[in-house]
Amino acid sequence: MLEERESKEPAMNPFQKNESKETLFSPVSTEEMLPGPPSPPKKSTPKLFGSSYPLSIAFIVVNEFCERFSYYGMKAVLTLYFLYFLHWNEDTSTSVYHAFSSLCYFTPILGAAIADSWLGKFKTIIYLSLVYVLGHVFKSLGAIPILGGKMLHTILSLVGLSLIALGTGGIKPCVAAFGGDQFEEEHAEARTRYFSVFYLSINAGSLISTFITPMLRGDVKCFGEDCYALAFGIPGLLMVLALVVFAMGSKMYRKPPPEGNIVAQVTKCIWFAICNRFRNRSEDIPKRQHWLDWAAEKYPKHLILDVKALTRILFLYIPLPMFWALLDQQGSRWTLQANKMNGDLGFFVLQPDQMQVLNPFLVLVFIPLFDLVIYRLISKCGVNFSSLRKMAVGMILACLAFAVAALVEIKINGMIHPQPASQEIFLQVLNLADGEIEVTVRGNRNNPLLVESISSFQNTTHYSKLHLETKSQDLHFHLKYNNSSVHNEYSVEEKNCYQLVVHEDGESISSMLVKDTGIKPANGMTAIRFINTLHKDMNISLDADAPLSVGKDYGVSEYRTVLRGKYPAVHCETEDNVFSLNLGQLDFGTTYLFVITNITNRGLQAWKAEDIPANKLSIAWQLPQYVLVTAAEVMFSVTGLEFSYSQAPSSMKSVLQAAWLLTVAVGNIIVLVVAQFSGLVQWAEFVLFSCLLLVVCLIFSVMGYYYVPLKSEGIHEATDKPTPHIQGNMINLETKNTRL
């Protein structure tokens, strides 16, 4: 095949004495192949089901599906893993998430350099896939609760994410191009269709994994909590499968050797032009038409022309990172928003991180819809909807998506249980006596902080806000019940929630102050605890974990977090009997208190109260923002890459791909910086991003207005101008300017 033919060819010196330096430095492309001796007859490559597709393509497409399943599946649960397993706050979780995403888009430059300059695409994919798998191993080990403490979990997670970023980013620029290498030139049309299939495999892997891995995390329990180890382990196994499938096709692949790193060549050309211009600042030296013309003393005109065309596009890339800053928040800020909403859709209960499945699904719907319907209708209306205009409209749609997200966040904040501020506490009085009680709370100066009458077994989610004089303070409680009066003193600390439990004690009453969670259960879960009024200790089995123990005579249990759902028969035991307890329906994000009151022939009887109300706002309210941001992605991303490729020379495609990925990386860095240093509430942060992108859109529109598109034939226009004469280190500054 290709490798055998090249090994048998006699060594040729392409640098003949009569060739100019322009030929010497000119990159070799498929359009300008050097002449060689007649090649031996090519062996026919196996085809896929009698089509013009090489059989090797099947291995590459399956590999890409498994790899994308691995990457997006792991990434879908990453933010919640930071938040609830490593117990980082929302800002740190968001920052690390976007730092990882940014690294995944920086490493393609390294992968492309390794493939082009050293190993070739095939070996680069194999070796970096091994690094990828090792990263998944570290990430899965870091999610096992019994393996070490928080410090070890953090170290394993960060090492694993670094290796995954190197693996996925390193193979990103290689796999698609390696698939294109499998086609012969006479099958160019089939190669075009292959890239569509390749893109489909990416979205299919993303779609399925984003739906499945949140179920593995939330619906399966490991060590008494969400099974993050399984949610990371299954994507790791898919990456192993991707590597095995890719390696199985080794003997069928065409493996072109490394052709040199064009990214490095372009960088050196630009750097030399800048340095040469800086060295020749004298007014006596003739000016040149373009600043890149100062590279003419060292680099050929063909390369300089290509770099000129490239820099025109890179200039348009300057505003683009802000768009990616908004788009990539679907897996961080929007997931955290969904975490505070009701996921019950009636026919299906949706996990917060499963909302991300909307993006790949809508991408598959919107691409043909826009191409076949919307763009054609606009064209028939006589509107010149150019590529740059499509990208500007995509930016505006992303602005609207974040405006909608801000409105949803404001609505959520109106339903969220408030938290006490500095030198404040929240107090709730729970009356378990048979009659009404009157509660008076006084501070150190005998000033009344609260006066309230509470009915017997009054079900309320009301918390009273009490202001303290110091961070910790003793409060005096005066309780009136029938004709008796009781005085108690309790110490409290700021920023906490408390429950005062009042119950009968003979003919009088007694009270106890219990610290309350005051926080909604995470991840749409339900938190419950029990008060046992019986004279027997009780064990309550809620799930596969150890039973929850509740002491006798008004003992109060710890909180236990359970899945939302119906619990008609919970197993309960005393030292001499077994009972069942009906807890009824437990809803999203609710904190319940169950007071076990007595035993009847129907089992235990309990009084149910909501300490913190359920999440009422449906997760379906996120649908408009997902529709808007996905439409923005289709108009911006697909159109932008297509436009860039049409404007860039063929030799600059790899450089352009690296630059496009860099804009994604910079966009994630913007989110990281804003999350760490803005200090804004979430809805205000959404508004900030929306306004920033709107300003960037205006700047981009002005840039696009003055941009003059180049025709492809104008990029590679041949020139007959002589190359500059160079003697040693002396530069002939009389060289004529190069015109584009």
Q: What is the DSSP string of 545-559?
A: SPPEEE-TTTEEPPP
**Structural domain spans, the chain:** 47-260, 320-415+615-711, 424-612
Token pair listed for 129: 């896939």
The residue whose two tokens read 């919970």 is 570
What is the DSSP secondary-structure string of 579-599?
EEE--EEE-TT-EEEEEEEEE
The residue whose two tokens read 């995509």 is 394
Element (H, E) at 606: strand 603-612
Q: How far apart are CA 629 and CA 400, in angstroms?
A: 8
Q: For residue 66, how far is the Cα from the chain centroid?
A: 18
C-beta of residue 474 within 8 angstroms of C-beta of residue 489 = yes
Three-point CA angle 400, 401, 405, nearest 5°: 115
We find that the CATH architecture of domain 320-415+615-711 is Up-down Bundle (1.20)
Residue type for position 541: S
What stretches in the chain show pLDDT beneath 70?
1-45, 48-52, 185-189, 192, 196, 460-461, 520, 522-524, 544-545, 645, 650-651, 653-654, 710-740
Confidence at residue 6, expressed as pLDDT on a 0 to 100 scale: 35
Residue 291 is given by DSSP the state G
Q: What is the pLDDT of residues 145-184, one digit of tens each?
A: 888 888 999 999 999 999 999 999 889 878 877 887 787 7
The residue whose two tokens read 């002491």 is 551
Instruction: Given CATH 3.30.365.10, say whether it is the number of domain 47-260.
Output: no
Confidence at residue 111, expressed as pLDDT on a 0 to 100 scale: 86
Residue 488 sits at φ, ψ, to 5 deg, of -135, 155
Q: What is the pLDDT of residues 458-499, one digit of tens each?
A: 876 678 888 888 889 899 999 998 888 889 899 999 988 898
For the question of whether the overall pTM of this predicted structure is more than 0.75, the answer is no
Confidence at residue 17, expressed as pLDDT on a 0 to 100 scale: 35
C-beta of residue 174 within 8 angstroms of C-beta of residue 124 = yes
Give the residues across from 32 on adjacent strands.
none
- Asked if the domains at 47-260 and 320-415+615-711 fall in one CATH topology, the answer is yes
Q: For residue 320, how far is the Cα from the chain centroid?
A: 18
| Dihedral sign from CA coordinates of 307, 309, 312, 317 | negative
